[in-house]
Structure 1
Amino acid sequence: MTTALQPPLPSHPLLRLSLAPRGTMPRPIDGAWWPRSYDLLAELPRLLGGLPPEWGQITSVTFSGSKWSATPGRTLVCNQVVRLRRTVTASDPDTVVLLAPGQGRWDLLVVPPDTTEHAAQVFMAAAADDHS
């Protein structure tokens, strides 16, 4: 009998996400996300898998067409279909909008992947600040 050694599991980098506390007042930004690339299909599973359970199942993600790589109209993430909506308006090219039917809408500031760690921490702290 032979024993095959399993290769080490690939390292899964931590999700870089900072969320604002949930309050009674609506906020223009609900937090900040610092992806490692602009490849939405690669980044989205980590983001959706790391969201708070009370956000429910995200079924739609709206993102800037000028920033992210090409994507299909929908994809399977965390065993559910997620509709991907590319927008070409320049109103908020640095945000993604997450929708969960019956639960709500969340707008996340996207910190550019090539941002330095110090600058990213400043952006993420400001986006999650309860007083901003």
Structure 2
Amino acid sequence: MTSAPHQSIAPAAVTATEQPPHHQLRLRLRPKALTTGYVDGAWWPRSRDLAAELPALLAVLAVRLGVVPRVSYNLAEWDTAPRQIAADGVRVRLNGFWSRPAHTLDLIAGDRRRLTLLVVPPGTDPSAAHETMMCATRRDNADTVADLFRTGAQAAEGSTVDSPEAEGGRIPQQKTKEAE
């Protein structure tokens, strides 16, 4: 008597090369309060691949918004994206528009609450990105998107930051003998 080949029901082993790299999400949100201004927070994605960047963002924002079934974005700022993605088992519709305000992303929750994020371009200088994100998340921020980028760039010129993820903010600029 012969038996059929044995098939394992154990999941295939995942190698380190198959696992996506784990990076801390570069996201800052304004404190929950009355909504004023143009944005509710700032996000600095690592690439222009919206389908790859969104799942981690949606997982973190689920705590504040719940399920997010729809995202609106500016077509010019992202690589070609599918019309929908699956994130944590939820189908998320991606709506790209040419007329969408530049450097913003709208996340629309299932209960129709909307969160608008300032999107700092992936290649932005770390100091400027950090300062722009800090300006965007001030409680009283009412600056336009253009003003936020301008203010962040100006603030970054006068300071250095080890890393945008670093806690502690600015490192004072050292004086040189020429400056004295």
Quote the offset at 1:67 in angstroms.
0.9
Matched residue, 1:76: 86
- 1:52-103, Cα deviation, whole Å (9 max, x unpaired): 51311111000011111111211111110000000111x5110000000215
1:34 aligned residue (24, 38, 44): 44
Q: Are 1:122 and 2:131 matched, yes or no?
A: yes
Give the TM-score taking structure 1 as reference length.
0.88
Over the residues paired in the alignment, what is the CA RMSD in angstroms? 1.8
Unaligned runs of 5+ in 1: none
Query: Would the aligned equivalents of 1:58 and 1:100 in 2 still touch at CA under 8 Å?
Result: yes
Give the TM-score taking structure 2 as reference length: 0.66
Bigger-Rg structure (1/2) = 2
Aligned residues: 127
Which aligned pairs between 1:58-73 and structure 2 lie closer than 5 A?
58-73=68-83
C-alpha spacing 1:52/1:127, structure 2 compared with 1 (3 Å): farther
CA contact (8 A) 1:56 1:103 kept: no
Percent same amino acid at aligned positions?
Answer: 36
Q: 1:22 aligns with which of 5, 29, 32?
A: 32
Question: Per residue, is there more strand in 1 or in 2?
Answer: 1
Unaligned runs of 5+ in 2: 1-12, 142-180
Aligned to 1:50, the other structure's residue is in SS state helix
Is the Cα contact below 8 Å between 2:62 and 2:68 reproduced in 1? Answer: no
Higher helix share: 2
